[in-house]
Chains A and B, each alone.
Chain A
Amino acid sequence: SAVISQKPSRDICQRGTSLTIQCQVDSQVTMMFWYRQQPGQSLTLIATANQGSEATYESGFVIDKFPISRPNLTFSTLTVSNMSPEDSSIYLCSVEDGTATSFNEQFFGPGTRLTVL
């Protein structure tokens, strides 16, 4: 199984600023995913980040608002740009276990709890 860490674990930010969230994996993985979980809600996929290619964004999410980097097979960042209180959420990264080629077992990080004032 993959072990995932995220930084920061939580932050309180002012509106109009940007925050970059880091996701580090202890093994090389091809596919990484970024999710958002708004208060009291389920997880919503923001984008899929594969190393060496542009991230693929889901409907309702755009690169200008959530730019993603994927410089290598163990690391990714998600930036929440020009934040507003509506961006207050938990942001989670996940990876697909490269050895589990027969099914969708994803491993999730602990999340970054963001509060925008």
Chain B
Amino acid sequence: DAKTTQPTSMDCAEGRAANLPCNHSTISGNEYVYWYRQIHSQGPQYIIHGLKNNETNEMASLIITEDRKSSTLILPHATLRDTAVYYCIVSPRPSTGANSKLTFGKGITLSVRP
């Protein structure tokens, strides 16, 4: 079972920031928070990951609360192409030879409207 809970859906206006919440209250100390997204009819795509510090890359920002029990993925300027299902996943940092499986929950469907 997925160790995360996300709202079922949300929408935002094009050009505005999209803030996608995720709860992971049972996260362990060695587990990272990963975000993937799945655009319709495509395979999932990695977005970002973090342990306890906030992270930013060219796609998004990840804000993790100090107690690590929740996080928010921020798409700073959402476009129509960002319409997708976004999955928040917790998983241990892989070590050499370890099984790095990802457990996907139901995700949150983000709809970006013109």
Contact = CB atoms under 8 A, between A and B. Distances in A.
A56 B107 CA distance: 25
A99 interface: no
B55 to A, nearest CB: 11
Interface string A22-58: 0000000001010100000111110010000000101
Contacts of A115: none
B66 to A, nearest CB: 21
Contact of B43 (A45, A101, A105, A108): A108
B33 to A, nearest CB: 11
Interface residues of A, number: 26
Nearest to A33: B101
Contact of A42 (B32, B42, B100, B106): B106
Given A92-B43, A108-B43, A45 B100 contact: no
Given A101-B94, A104-B91, A48 B44 contact: no
Given A31-B99, A45-B102, A103-B93, 15 more contacts: A4-B43, A42-B2, A42-B106, A42-B107, A43-B104, A44-B104, A45-B101, A58-B101, A101-B96, A103-B94, A104-B32, A104-B91, A104-B102, A105-B46, A108-B44
28 contacts: A31-B100, A35-B104, A42-B104, A42-B105, A42-B106, A42-B107, A43-B104, A45-B101, A56-B99, A58-B101, A92-B43, A92-B44, A94-B43, A96-B100, A101-B94, A103-B32, A103-B93, A104-B91, A104-B93, A105-B46, A105-B49, A106-B44, A106-B46, A107-B46, A108-B44, A108-B45, A110-B42, A110-B43
Interface of B: 2, 32, 34, 41-46, 49, 87, 91, 93-94, 96, 99-107
